[in-house]
């Protein structure tokens, strides 16, 4: 299936340069983490419509049109002066291939601080290489240092061991367990809640820097 970029009628031509100028771009050893753009549609659709990848998540799309609608909303946030959604594309630095998406939504914002919830999705070919831990480590730095948030939360289905491990490896602490919280695949599933405070992240960073 060939997908074209989002037609300009969805994003006014006058807004186009603004989108490009304000794009956030972060880097790690192996990754480029940047704001989404129209030309990501084909890759975006690949993961967001993948039933295996979205097995534990309700967000899945079932058509290119739905994926496109979702991507447009994501891109519109890039220039929102009251931006609350930071959902980035993850690219492998070496090949520049789009390999997944990672980011967070600010749930509660007070003057100069706030709480956000993060999420992450990685194409199957790249699983079990520590990529998402690397990405979330950078995302935490951005959220705490650039945006001055005071807490990042994350949650996952109790059966989603890979996701729980990512949270633990990134220093999140378990805050609770919601019993039979989500109806998934014909059964009620428990949900795990994790969180990390800015001060915990800072201490963790100090220890890591001290040990290396
Ligand atoms: C969850 C997900 C993002 C993890 O990405 P990843 O880059 O493979 O994770 P990492 O390689 O950083 O692995 C983190 C840890 O989880 C472990 N892990 C990975 N897959 C696992 C699995 N299926 N079962 C148990 N542990 C697993 C890894 O071994 C690693 O631990 P280790 O370093 O001690 O070996 C990826 O599996 C994914 O995209 N899943 C589908 C989408 C999803 O569920 N997102 C989370 C929504 S809440």
pLDDT digits (tens, 9 = 90+) for 9-48: 455 555 555 556 678 999 999 999 999 999 999 999 999 9
How many structural domains is the chain composed of? 1
With a 6 Å cutoff on the Cβ, whether 127 touches ligand 1 is: yes
Q: Considering the entire predicted model, what is its pTM?
A: 0.91
3 in a structural domain? no
With a 6 Å cutoff on the Cβ, whether 160 touches ligand 1 is: yes
60 in a structural domain? yes
51 in a structural domain? yes
Give bridge partners of residue 192 from the DSSP assignment.
156, 177
Instruction: Find the domain containing 65 and state its range.
Output: 8-211
For ligand 1, atom 36, the nearest C-alpha belongs to: 122
For residue 75, the CA-to-ligand 1 centroid distance in Å is 27
8: pLDDT confidence band, cut at 50, 70 and 90?
Answer: very low
80 in a structural domain? yes
Q: For the domain that residue 112 is a member of, what is the CATH number?
A: 3.40.630.30
Express each pLDDT in 71-118 by its tens digit. Answer: 999 999 988 889 999 999 999 999 999 999 999 999 998 888 999 999
Q: Percentage of the chain with pLDDT > 70?
A: 89
188 in a structural domain? yes
> What is the pLDDT averaged over residues 201-205?
92
């Amino acid at each position: 299936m060939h997908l074209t970029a989002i037609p300009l009628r969805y994003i006014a031509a006058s807004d186009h340069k603004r989108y490009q100028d304000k794009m956030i771009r972060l880097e790690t050893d192996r990754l480029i983490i940047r704001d989404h753009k129209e030309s990501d549609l084909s890759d975006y659709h690949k993961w967001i419509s993948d039933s295996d990848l979205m097995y534990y998540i309700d967000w899945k799309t079932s058509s290119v049109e739905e994926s496109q609608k979702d991507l447009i909303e994501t891109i519109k946030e890039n220039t929102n002066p009251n931006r609350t959604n930071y959902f980035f594309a993850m690219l492998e630095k070496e090949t520049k291939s789009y390999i997944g998406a990672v980011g967070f939504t600010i749930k509660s914002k007070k003057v100069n601080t706030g709480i956000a919830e993060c999420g992450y999705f990685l194409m199957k070919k790249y699983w079990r290489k520590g990529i998402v831990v690397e990405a979330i480590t950078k995302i935490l730095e951005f959220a705490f240092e650039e945006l001055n948030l005071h807490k990042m939360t994350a949650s996952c289905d109790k059966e989603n061991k890979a996701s729980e491990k990512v949270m633990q490896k990134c220093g999140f602490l378990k805050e609770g367990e919601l019993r039979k919280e989500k109806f998934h695949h014909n059964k009620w599933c428990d949900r795990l809640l994790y969180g990390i405070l800015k001060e915990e992240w800072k201490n963790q960073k100090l220890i890591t820097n001290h040990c290396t």
